[in-house]
């Protein structure tokens, strides 16, 4: 799986454009988008989209919370939780995973290390994405700086493991796959590129 997290690098018109670029390269790429852009991106591209964060609160009151029902109603397929840029307590992750399961949404929980991955695996999310926070947004990838983390994550954490942080080359992706990861999560290399399509073609 190639997962492209748009973060807040792009939104609105630009996020739709980026989603279209991703689709041109491969319509199986999964996108991590903002809730505000979800409806339009899905409508215009039919790409599989996750939202970048969601709350466990339910329908009705709860002003300002972003609900799993909202993701569902806007044709999202999944949610990301606990990204290193949006950390949550285990209690909140647990409550939110349960809510997502009730609505049949896929869930990707981000973890910073193997211990956290083991704990989160008890919740049986669809994917666990291991990202060392220090490497996120940088030029040195997890595949280069810490291949052992990939290998150990696959061995020691139950579930489907993705890895991310600093991924920017074909080699990074190949190393991750070779070590058993089901795929990679990438952001800045694609979202800040002058020609995202070119970068994606190399990664895929």
What are the residues binding ligand G3P (CB under 6 A)?
Answer: 5, 131, 136-137, 164-167, 185-189
Minimum CB distance to ligand G3P smaller for 30 or for 157: 30
- Closest-by-Cβ residue to ligand G3P is 188
State the minimum distance, in angstroms, from the CB of residue 113 to ligand G3P. 15
Catalytic site residue from 21, 83, 116, 168: 83
> In this complex, which beta carbon is closest to ligand G3P, that of residue 57 or of residue 129?
129
**HSE (CB half, 13 Å, CA atoms) of 181?**
28
DSSP state of 48: -
Q: Are 34 and 6 in contact (CB under 8 A)?
A: yes
CB of 84 to ligand G3P, least distance (A): 7
For the chain, how many residues are written?
204
83 is catalytic: yes
- 153, 146, 19, 81: CA torsion to nearest 10: 40
> Could you say which of 131, 168, 174, 202 is catalytic?
131
Give SS3 for 66: coil
The rounded distance, in Å, linking the Cα atoms of 146 and 41 is: 34
Minimum Å distance from CB 53 to ligand G3P? 12
Q: Work out how close the CB of 123 gets to ligand G3P at its nearest, in angstroms, rounded to a whole number.
A: 19
Which residues are bridge partners to 3 per DSSP? Answer: 30, 185
Measured from the CB atom, the residue of 56 and 127 that comes closer to ligand G3P is 127
**Which sequence positions are flagged as catalytic?**
83, 131
């Amino acid at each position: 799986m190639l997962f492209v997290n748009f973060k807040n690098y792009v939104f609105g018109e630009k996020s739709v454009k980026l989603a279209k670029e991703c689709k041109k390269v491969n319509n199986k790429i999964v996108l991590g988008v903002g809730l505000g852009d979800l409806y339009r991106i899905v409508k215009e591209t039919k790409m599989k989209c996750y939202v970048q964060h969601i709350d466990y609160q339910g329908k009705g009151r709860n002003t300002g919370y972003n609900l799993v029902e909202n993701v569902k109603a806007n044709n999202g397929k999944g949610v990301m939780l606990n990204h290193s840029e949006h950390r949550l307590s285990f209690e909140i992750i647990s409550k939110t995973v349960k809510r997502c399961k009730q609505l049949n949404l896929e869930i990707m929980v981000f973890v910073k290390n193997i211990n956290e991955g083991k704990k989160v695996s008890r919740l049986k999310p669809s994917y666990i994405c291991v990202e060392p926070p220090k490497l996120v947004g940088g030029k040195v990838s997890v595949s280069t700086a810490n291949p052992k983390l990939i290998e150990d994550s696959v061995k020691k954490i139950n579930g489907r493991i993705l890895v991310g942080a600093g991924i920017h080359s074909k080699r990074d992706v190949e190393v991750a796959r070779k070590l058993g990861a089901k795929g990679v999560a990438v952001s800045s290399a694609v979202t800040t590129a002058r020609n995202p399509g070119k970068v994606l073609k190399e990664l895929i």
